[in-house]
Every structure is written in structure tokens, then in C-alpha cells.
């Protein structure tokens, strides 16, 4: 089986080598400039998209992207530095501490593509040993713009998290996230590319992964605020991410995007969204000198309907970039996770999710690959006009989930997380 996969991989690499010269001019970075800290995430995002659009096996693309990006960022990058004009120099004189080096995204991308070509050439003739993810997960994702003028949601699925980031500690990890942008797509794009990099590079990942996931939101927020100041960006994004680490899940969030767990056919509340009307959020905002007012819904300073987000430079510190986290040990009774933006949860309650998934599986003989589309359609039919993004991660085979539903029925279980800092049975950490 692996020999067949390796043969198909070499054939794919050969096609990349044939087509890459003609494709290089079509690849464009998302922004004109990038800092050294941002470069790993932005380059990985571009290369993953390029290889994914060509149908690359995820285990191959993750490892290949890691090798190309790491090679590209080694050594002297001074030739790719962005030249500063007189205005930039004047601004630098007023900055304290010293401004970080900024690189031309196009030049850095071309350098990275040359590294990709070199590594692909070597691997096409002699494919190195590549670790595959032993956990085979079925993931269903669907997103629509709906009635909004722009699509500002982003979602991320990284089954081979370790391979993408070169982690070799023997702890298998996968990562999933949904980001719901507002005021533009820049913050959501940024978070989709950067949060998982911050998780992987966090010094506490091995000993305290919950802390690593939680603090990665705030670190990404700080990075984006520097970029927002540099490029005069005003957008923001909420987000929820899940780090699946062998038999444990770490769920981190800020804002009103949410994740739920379905266990033995019942929806389990994992988290409480950050909304201005929450008493603790209102107290925090007012203690900083801000206000919470009702204008169709509760809003921070009469503008945003969320109290925590990455970005929103004009609303800091009232809109916090600090996330929350909760962790749980899986005992084998878990069916699936659902990550979604508020455009979904506005019209579909967590308790409705199991029945929707069950109905879809029953109608499709246990095939869960398009179940996210069913959930998105349910939200739209329920009256949601917002962008809608849904990501479903099956923690056991969809056919087994169907059998479990038939045996157990569905409903709503007791929350694992009581929102007061206490953890219920089945969970070992709350933040």
C-alpha cells in the first residue's frame, strides 16, 4: 500500500516540476509586505493552497511545504528587505522600540518557490521517508457568502499538524479552526495563516498545550495589530480552534464562533461565547472606560457585537485579543466535533445538530463527507443572512456514528464546562 502511495507521490512531484514554471506568475501573496515572524505562516498558506489545488495528498504537501519554507527562511534574507521611503524612515525615527524588519512578499515568495522546486526535484528522484498521520479522520467543511456582500469567513483543516511544522516528539496532533471576519477579510486571512504557527512554535506546547493554544490567539492579535498599524487595516475576526492531541482535545476561542462536541448522540456544551451582554465581559469593558449599549443587539461602544477579537485596532483594549481555553480527555464515546461561526448558531441551536447529522447519515448510508453542507443549508433555511461556515470533524467513522445514533437517540448532555472555571467529569483543564 505504501509503495503505491510513494509511486503516486513521485508521479505527482513530477507534474509539479513540469507545471511550476508556468504557475509561478499566478501565485500572489495576500499582502505587499511581511515581517520575519509572519513569513512562515504566509508562505506555508500559499504553498499549501497551491499543492492542495493540484490534488496533493495531505501527508505529502504538509511535509513538502515544511521543507520548502524552512529552507527559504534559513540564512541571510537581507536581499528581500522592503526598501523604505522617506515617510517610512520618518515613522521609524518615532518608533520605540526599533521597528522589525519588513520583507517584500513577492521576492520572498519567489525565493520560496525556488526552494520548493529544488526540493521537489530531489524528492521526485528519491522520496525520503515521510510519517503519515495514523488517525484517519473524516472532515466535512462547507462555507457560503449567503446574502452578505463579501465572504469574510475562513476555515483551516490541518490533519498533519506535526508534519507541517516539523514536530517529531511522537505526540500526534491535528488542528481545526474557523475564523469569522468583520470589517474586511484581512484579519480572518491573517488568523487562518498565523494562529497554528504560533501554536506549533509556542514554548509550552509539549508541557502545557492548552496554554499554548490559548496564548496563540493573543500573540496573533499582537502581530496583526502591528501589521494593521503598518498597513492601516481596521478589520477584526473572532475565532475558534481545536487542537486534537491523541486522546485529548484543546478548544480555544475568542468572540462568538463556537465549537460543540457530540458524544453518544448528545450535544455537549464546551464553551460560552464572548458577547458584550455577558456580565463579566460588560464589567471588563466598563472598567476600561468603554460602554455596552443595545442597538438592535448589545454592542461594544455602540459598534461591535462581540467583546473579544483579533484585530479591531480602533476598539482596543475594550475588544480584547485574549482567548479562553478548555481541554477534555476523550473516552471513545465521542461522535464528532462541529466548529462554526455565529452565522450558523444564530438559527441552529447546539441541541439540533445531532438530529441534523443523524438524518444526513441515514439518508446517505453513513457517508458524512457532505454533512457540513446539510448543516449550512439548515442555518440558511432558518433565516440566517450572515456568512455561514461549518466544519465537522468525525472522531469515529460516520457509519459508527449512525449506529450510535440509532442505539442511543439524540439530545442535549450536561455541559462539560460550567463557565465559572470548574471542570465537569471528562475534562481535565479549563482556562
pLDDT of residue 135: 84
Domain with CATH 3.60.40.10 in the chain: 138-430
Which residues make Cβ contacts (< 8 Å) with residue 216, sequence separation at least 6? Answer: 195, 196, 198, 199, 202, 252
Cβ neighbour number for residue 331 with a 10 Å cutoff: 10
Question: Which set of grid coordinates corresponds to residue 86?
Answer: 522617506
138-430: CATH topology is Phosphatase 2c; domain 1 (3.60.40)
Burial label, 89 (beta-carbon count in 10 A; 0-12, 13-18, 19+):
exposed
Contact (Cβ atoms closer than 8 angstroms) between residue 191 and residue 237: yes
Strand partners, 33: 104
Q: What is the mean pLDDT of residues 328-343?
A: 96
DSSP states along 248-272: EEEEEEESS-EEEEEETTEEEE---
- At 25, the pLDDT band (50, 70, 90 cuts) reads confident
DSSP states along 185-222: SHHHHHHHHHHHHHHHH-TTTTT-HHHHHHHHHHHHHH
pLDDT of residue 206: 96
pLDDT of residue 168: 93
In whole angstroms, give the CA distance from residue 238 to residue 256: 6
Strand partners, 156: 177
In whole angstroms, give the CA distance from residue 87 to residue 174: 44
Q: For the ranges 2-11, 34-43, 235-244, which has the lowest average pLDDT?
A: 2-11
**Is pLDDT above 50 for 175?**
yes
pLDDT of residue 7: 85
Contact (Cβ atoms closer than 8 angstroms) between residue 62 and residue 174: no
Question: Which set of grid coordinates corresponds to residue 388?
Answer: 455561514
Question: Which set of grid coordinates corresponds to residue 430?
Answer: 479549563
Question: Tell me: the pLDDT tens digits for 141-152?
Answer: 999 999 999 999
Short-list 5, 49, 8, 54, CA closest to 28:
49
Taking all residues of the chain, what is their mean pLDDT, rounded to a whole number?
90
In whole angstroms, give the CA distance from residue 378 to residue 355: 11
Please report, for residues 12, 21, 28, 107, 109, the alpha-carbon distance to residue 25 in angstroms, rounded to integers and kept in the order given. 20, 8, 8, 12, 11
| DSSP-derived secondary structure letter, 2 | H
Short-list 95, 82, 87, 93, CA closest to 36:
82
pLDDT of residue 3: 78
| CA torsion angle 126 128 134 138 (round to 10) | -50
pLDDT of residue 430: 32
- Please calculate the CA angle 41-42-46 and round it to the nearest 5 degrees: 115
Short-list 298, 302, 279, CA closest to 290:
302
First-to-last C-alpha distance (Å) of the chain: 43
In whole angstroms, give the CA distance from residue 199 to residue 212: 6
Q: What is the mean pLDDT of residues 106-135?
A: 93
**Is pLDDT above 80 for 88?**
no
- At 22, the pLDDT band (50, 70, 90 cuts) reads confident
- The total number of residues shown for the chain amounts to 431
**Is pLDDT above 90 for 91?**
no
Amino acid at each position: 500500500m505504501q509503495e503505491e502511495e510513494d509511486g503516486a507521490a513521485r508521479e505527482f512531484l513530477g507534474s509539479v516540476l513540469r507545471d511550476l514554471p508556468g504557475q509561478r506568475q499566478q501565485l500572489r501573496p495576500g499582502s505587499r509586505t511581511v515581517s520575519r515572524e509572519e513569513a512562515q505562516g504566509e508562505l506555508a498558506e500559499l504553498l499549501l493552497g497551491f499543492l492542495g489545488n493540484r490534488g496533493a495528498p495531505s501527508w505529502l504537501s504538509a511535509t513538502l511545504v515544511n521543507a520548502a519554507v524552512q529552507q527559504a527562511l534559513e540564512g541571510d534574507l537581507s536581499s528581500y528587505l522592503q526598501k523604505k521611503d522617506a515617510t517610512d524612515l520618518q515613522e521609524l525615527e518615532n518608533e520605540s522600540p526599533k521597528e522589525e524588519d519588513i520583507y517584500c512578499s513577492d521576492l520572498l515568495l519567489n525565493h520560496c518557490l525556488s526552494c520548493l522546486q529544488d526540493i521537489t526535484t530531489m524528492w521526485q528522484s528519491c522520496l525520503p521517508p515521510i510519517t503519515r498521520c495514523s488517525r484517519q479522520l473524516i472532515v466535512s467543511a462547507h462555507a457560503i457568502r449567503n446574502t452578505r456582500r463579501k465572504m469574510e469567513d475562513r476555515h483551516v483543516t490541518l490533519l498533519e499538524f506535526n508534519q507541517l511544522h516539523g514536530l517529531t516528539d511522537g505526540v500526534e496532533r491535528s488542528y481545526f479552526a474557523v475564523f469569522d471576519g468583520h470589517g474586511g477579510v484581512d484579519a480572518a486571512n491573517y488568523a487562518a495563516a498565523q494562529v497554528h504557527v504560533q501554536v506549533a512554535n509556542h514554548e509550552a506546547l509539549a508541557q502545557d498545550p492548552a496554554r499554548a493554544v490559548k496564548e496563540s490567539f493573543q500573540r496573533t492579535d499582537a502581530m496583526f495589530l502591528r501589521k494593521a498599524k503598518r498597513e492601516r487595516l481596521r478589520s477584526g475576526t473572532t475565532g475558534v480552534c481545536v487542537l486534537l492531541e491523541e486522546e485529548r482535545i484543546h478548544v480555544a476561542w475568542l468572540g462568538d464562533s463556537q465549537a460543540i462536541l457530540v458524544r453518544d448522540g448528545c450535544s455537549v456544551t464546551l464553551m460560552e461565547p464572548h458577547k458584550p451582554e455577558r456580565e463579566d465581559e460588560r464589567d471588563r469593558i466598563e472598567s476600561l472606560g468603554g460602554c455596552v449599549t443595545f442597538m438592535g443587539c448589545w454592542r461594544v461602544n455602540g459598534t461591535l457585537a462581540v467583546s473579544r477579537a483579533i484585530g479591531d485596532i480602533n476598539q482596543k483594549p475594550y475588544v480584547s485579543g485574549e482567548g479562553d481555553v478548555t481541554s477534555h480527555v476523550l473516552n471513545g464515546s465521542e461522535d464528532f466535533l462541529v466548529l462554526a461561526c455565529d452565522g450558523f448558531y444564530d438559527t441552529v441551536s447546539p441541541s439540533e445538530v445531532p438530529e441534523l447529522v443523524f438524518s444526513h447519515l441515514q439518508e446517505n448510508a453513513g457517508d458524512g463527507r457532505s454533512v457540513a453542507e446539510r448543516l449550512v443549508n439548515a442555518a440558511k433555511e432558518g433565516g440566517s443572512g450572515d456568512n455561514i461556515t461549518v466544519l465537522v470533524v468525525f472522531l469515529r467513522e460516520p457509519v459508527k456514528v449512525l449506529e450510535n445514533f440509532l442505539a442511543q437517540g439524540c439530545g442535549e448532555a450536561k455541559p462539560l464546562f460550567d463557565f465559572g472555571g470548574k471542570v465537569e467529569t471528562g475534562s481535565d483543564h479549563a482556562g
